[in-house]
Chains A and B, each alone.
Chain A
Amino acid sequence: MKHPARWAALAVAVVVAALAVVLASQVSTNPQADQQMSRLVGQSEPTFTVHTFDGRTLSSASLAGKAVLVNFWNSWCIPCQQELPDLKMFAAEHAGDPNVVLLGILRDDTVDAARPYAEAEGMSWSLADDPGANLSLDFGTRGQPETYAISPGGLVVGSEIGPASVRNLDTLLAAAQAHP
């Protein structure tokens, strides 16, 4: 073999280049990037049954045929408080529409703390507990607030990670209603 040192240098260069490619590909799947999108979009909604603060039972089956916005929230998170006025406006706009449901799912909070907060804030939409955080897990949530749009046919068609505005909520609702 002529010039073995050159071959060794070439081999090292190839390994370094391959390592750079791998690192670049790993960076492209970093947690921040994954946080901005839900893997659930385009898939069927998780099957669920929840009990609302006012004693009703809602389930994915009972909500079939309606456009549903599932909002994960709690009483102590600042971004949840930031989006509250928009949620109130959205809920008021669609209060008379039986085919639109806004469902708030409590995340990382207790009903004892959230119920008086919801009453004081006048949160008029359906609010439910998530004991064991099973639904939060099934939706693949990373925090709160997060909002998911479910079509009448049970397909998750959109998500908003972080505080949602009325405009965001209307867009999610339109996407849900566009899928039968």
Chain B
Amino acid sequence: MIGRRLVLWGGAAALVVGALVWAAWPSSGSTTSAARAHELATELRCPDCQALSVADSDSSSAEAIRADLARRTKAGESDAEIRQVYIDRYGDSILLKPPSSGLGLLVWVLPVVAVALAIVGLGFAFVRWRREPRLQATDADEALVHGARG
């Protein structure tokens, strides 16, 4: 019985962790150069307007970056190479998402680890609560209830 429950809890935990990892994992690269250029435009911050991506901004610099991205993807440059060009020009802040490597990887991994730890902690708590004896009504308790009911 306990083994079956453990399997169920383990399965549920694995499902949650798997879903979080899948959600946090970088999406696979687009195939066409135009789709890649658009995908990159959504990752880059518009230099003039900060809160918007290059894909969403109408500023002249965003337009210029979109044209540059189209040119570079058509020329066969990889996504990583193109990102690096912009990081070299503007710094890491040009990326709307933290980089998924180096220290920035922790931003993606830590929430998943935190949720996994929370699930494990809950599991421990449930097991502990089950082991603790339940409160039993004593004869005195029963007498009190009967007395109160008249």
Tell me the bound Cα distance from A5 to B90 in angstroms.
Answer: 46
Minimal beta-carbon separation of B56 from chain A (angstroms): 16
How many B residues face the partner with a CB closer than 8 A?
A: 34
Determine whether the beta carbon of B106 is less than 8 Å from that of A8.
no
Judge whether B48 and A142 touch: CB under 8 Å. Answer: yes
- In the assembled complex, which residues on chain B have CB atoms less than 8 Å from the CB atom of A30? 93
Known interface pairs A15-B110, A15-B113, A136-B64; A34-B89 also in contact (CB < 8 Å): no
* Residues 118-148 of B at the A interface (beta carbon under 8 Å): 118, 120-121, 124-125, 128
Whether B61 contacts A133 by the Cβ 8 Å rule is yes
Q: In the assembly, what is the distance between CA of A137 and CA of B64, in Å?
A: 7
Q: Does A160 sit within 8 A of B, measured CB to CB?
A: no
Which applies to chain A's interface (DSSP): helix, strand, loop or mixed?
helix
Instruction: Verify B124–A4 contact, CB threshold 8 A.
Output: yes
- Kindly state the separation between the CA atoms of A141 and B106 in the bound complex, as whole angstroms: 30
Across the interface, do A142 and B98 meet the contact criterion of CB distance under 8 Å? no
Contacts of A39 in B (CB 8 A): 88-91
B100 contacts the other chain (CB 8 A)? no
Q: List residues of chain B with CB within 8 A of the CB of A40.
A: 89
Partner of A12, one of B88, B91, B94, B121: B121
Q: Is B15 an interface residue (CB 8 A)?
A: no
Cβ contact within 8 Å between B120 and A26: no
Q: How far is the CA of A34 from the CA of B103 in the complex (A)?
A: 18
Whether A137 lies near B65 (C-beta < 8 A) is: yes
Instruction: Note all chain B residues with C-beta closer than 8 A to A65.
Output: none
- Chain A residues at the B interface, C-beta cutoff of 8 Å: 4-5, 8, 11-12, 15-16, 18-19, 22, 25-26, 29-31, 33-34, 39-40, 107-108, 132-134, 136-138, 140-143
6 tightest Cβ-Cβ pairs between the two chains A and B: A140-B89, A133-B64, A34-B91, A31-B93, A34-B93, A8-B121
**10 CB < 8 A contacts A-B:** A4-B124, A8-B120, A22-B110, A26-B98, A29-B92, A31-B45, A34-B92, A108-B59, A132-B64, A137-B64
Q: Apart from A39-B88, A133-B63, what 18 extra A-B contacts exist at CB < 8 Å?
A: A5-B128, A8-B120, A8-B124, A18-B106, A19-B114, A25-B103, A29-B92, A31-B50, A39-B91, A133-B64, A136-B61, A137-B65, A137-B89, A140-B90, A141-B61, A142-B47, A142-B48, A142-B61
